[in-house]
Structure 1
Amino acid sequence: MKPLNILISNDDGVYAEGIDVLYAYLKKAGHKVKVVAPDRNQSAASHSLTLEYPLRVQKINKEDYLAVKGTPTDSVYLAVNSLLDTKPDIVISGINNGANLCDDVIYSGTVAAAVEGRNLGLPAIAVSLCGNTHYDTAAEIVGRIIDRIEECPIPSDRILNINVPDLPVEQVKGVRVTRLGRRMSSESVIEEKDLRGHPIYWIGPQADALDKAEDTDIYAISEGYVSITPLHIDLTAYQVLDDLSGWISKVY
C-alpha cells in the first residue's frame, strides 16, 4: 500500500514509551508520521476541550514531535486544524500504557483523541496495551490493521478501540471482534491526610468485571486475543425512542 500521512496522539503524554515505539514502527514501515500529544500525562481526561485559557505548543528534542499544554482532544484538534502542513490520512491514539476495556472508554483520553479524529472526518483508531512491557506487539498489530485501511476503510461514524494483550507477538492467539464488557460500579475512595493533617482523597481502583461474556473485550484479552471493538459516535439510544415518546406525552 502507499505510505500514509499518520497523526499520532495519546493521553499518557508526548514522552510516553508507547508513543515512541509506535512512531518508530510506522516510520520504519515507510509512513509519514507526526506526533502531537499532551506535554504531560492526561489519563482519564475523556473528551475535555480547553476553553478557559490559550493553548501553548512546544517543539521537543525529537523529530516530528510537538507537545501541547492541553488535553488529548486539544492535541488532535490543533494538529488537524492548524499545526500540520498536510492533512492526515488517519489518526492513531496510543499505544496506551494499560487497557481501555469496558466502561473505561467513557473516561479514556486515548479513546477521546481517536474520537476527535473521527469528528474531524478522519479514520481513527485507539490502541492500548494491557500492561506496560510488549509495546512492540501492539505496534505490529497496528501496522497489520492499517495495511487494511485502504482496501477496507473504517466506516465514517466509527472508531476502532483496540486492546492488545501484554505478550510477545508470537504468543498472541489471534484477533477477535468484540463488544464492550461492563464493570461493576466502583465506589472506592481512599482518604488520607496531607503533611498538614488536612484530608485528601484518591479515586479508588477499577472495579471487577460484571459482564465478561465470551463476546466481550475483557474476555478476549483474558484469553490472550487482541480485542477490536467498533465504537459509535452517536450516543442516542434509538431502541427506547418510542417508549420515551409515550412516557413524555403524559408529562406535558
Structure 2
Amino acid sequence: MKILLSNDDGFQAPGIVALHQALAAFAEVEVVAPEHNNSAKSNALTLHSPLYVHEAANGFRYVNGTPADCVHIALTGLLDYRPDLVVSGINNGANMGDDTIYSGTVGAAMEGYLFGIPAIAFSQIERGWAHLDAAAAKAGELVQRIGAQKLGDGKPWLLNVNIPNVPLDEIKPPKICRLGRRHAAERVITMDSPRGETMYWIGGAGAAADAAEGTDFHATAAGHIALTPLKVDLTDHDALAYWSQGMKQLMEGAPR
C-alpha cells in the first residue's frame, strides 16, 4: 500500500511522527506536511504567493503552505505515482461536530478525496498528546484492516476518526457515528497591543450542543473510537422542493 501522509500541526508534530511510524510498518509512506502549524485552515489553498518544498533530515517533506496545499502539490506534480490512500493526522485535539468544517486535518484528507483517492483524518480527543502511542497503534490497525478488505467498492471515501486519549487496552472498538453539534464559540478575546491598538483572538470552541447517542461526542465520551463517513456535497437536498416551489411563486409575482 502506498500512503500519502499529511497533517495540520506541522511536519515536526509528535502526531505525524507517531502515525508515520505506525503506518510504515506495513506500507510505503510519503510525508508532505506544512512547515508550521496550520490549524483551522480548512480547505484553503495558497494562490497569491509561491510555495516551496523542502526535505527534513528524516525524509519528511514540508511546504510553506496549508494542509490542502501539501496534498494538492503532492498529487499534481510532486509525486510520480498515485497513492492508494491519503491519511492526515494525528491531530492534537478533537475534530468532531462542527469542528470538521474548520479543520485543517480534515481539509488535507478531503483534498485527497476530491482527487478521487480514499482518505482518512485522525485526531486525538484531548490536546497534549497523552497516550499518543496507543492512538497511533489503533490508527495503524484501522488503516491496515481497511486496506486489506478494500472497502468502498472501488469508489473514493472520506472518514473522520477521533480517538480517546487513554491507554491502548482501554480504547473501545470503533463506532460508526454522525457528527454532533457544538454551541456557539466562546466570546472573542481582546487585549491592547504595545501601540495601543485592540487585538482580537478567536475564542475557544463551544461545548457540545448535540452529544446524543449516535454522535461522535457520545461515542468518544464512552471510550470508543468515533468513525464518521463524510461527504463534500453541501446541497440541502431535503429543501430543494421547498425552494423550487418558493422560487416559482416568487417569479410569478415578479414585475414585468
- Tell me what 2:69 maps to: 74
Aligned mates of 2:148, 2:240 — CA distance in 1 = 36
- Tell me what 1:209 maps to: 208
Q: Count how many residue pairs are aligned between Structure 1 and Structure 2.
A: 247
Secondary structure, counterpart of 1:249 in structure 2: helix
Structure 1 residue 186 displacement after superposition: 1.8
AA partner of residue 62 (structure 1): N
Structure 1 residue 159 displacement after superposition: 0.6
Distance change (3 Å), C-alpha of 1:94 and 1:144: same
Is the CA contact 1:126–1:160 (under 8 Å) kept in the aligned structure 2? Answer: yes
Is the CA contact 2:5–2:33 (under 8 Å) kept in the aligned structure 1? Answer: yes
- Tell me what 1:151 maps to: 149
Percentage identity across aligned positions?
44
1:102 pairs with 2:92: no
Secondary structure, counterpart of 1:201 in structure 2: strand
Aligned mates of 1:157, 1:241 — CA distance in 2 = 26
AA partner of residue 92 (structure 1): V
1:19 pairs with 2:7: no
Aligned mates of 1:158, 1:105 — CA distance in 2 = 16
Unaligned runs of 5+ in 2: 252-256
Q: Deviation string for 1:128-154 (max 9, x for gaps)?
A: 011221222222222222222342423
Structure 1 residue 61 displacement after superposition: 1.4
AA partner of residue 141 (structure 1): K
Secondary structure, counterpart of 2:97 in structure 1: coil
Secondary structure, counterpart of 2:230 in structure 1: strand
Large movers: runs of 4+ above 6 Å: none
Aligned mates of 1:83, 1:177 — CA distance in 2 = 34
- Tell me what 1:181 maps to: 180
Aligned mates of 1:60, 1:153 — CA distance in 2 = 34
State the superposition RMSD in angstroms.
Answer: 1.3
Aligned mates of 1:188, 1:152 — CA distance in 2 = 45
1:86 pairs with 2:81: yes
Aligned mates of 1:142, 1:245 — CA distance in 2 = 44
Deviates more, 1:129-138 or 1:35-44: 129-138
Is the CA contact 1:157–1:232 (under 8 Å) kept in the aligned structure 2? Answer: no
Distance change (3 Å), C-alpha of 1:231 and 1:17: same
1:7 pairs with 2:4: yes
Aligned mates of 1:18, 1:152 — CA distance in 2 = 26
Q: Deviation string for 1:71-112 (max 9, x for gaps)?
A: 100000111111112221100000000000110000000001
Q: Deviation string for 1:21-65 (max 9, x for gaps)?
A: 0111111x23111100110000000110111112111111112x1
Structure 1 residue 119 displacement after superposition: 0.6
Aligned mates of 1:189, 1:38 — CA distance in 2 = 27
Deviates more, 1:34-43 or 1:51-60: 51-60
**TM-score when scaled to structure 2?**
0.93
AA partner of residue 49 (structure 2): Y
Aligned mates of 1:30, 1:164 — CA distance in 2 = 21
Structure 1 residue 180 displacement after superposition: 0.3
Q: Deviation string for 1:169-191 (max 9, x for gaps)?
A: 10112211100000012251011
- Tell me what 1:46 maps to: 42
Is the CA contact 1:11–1:109 (under 8 Å) kept in the aligned structure 2? Answer: yes
Aligned mates of 1:146, 1:17 — CA distance in 2 = 19
**TM-score when scaled to structure 1?**
0.94
Secondary structure, counterpart of 2:70 in structure 1: helix
Deviates more, 1:186-195 or 1:35-44: 186-195
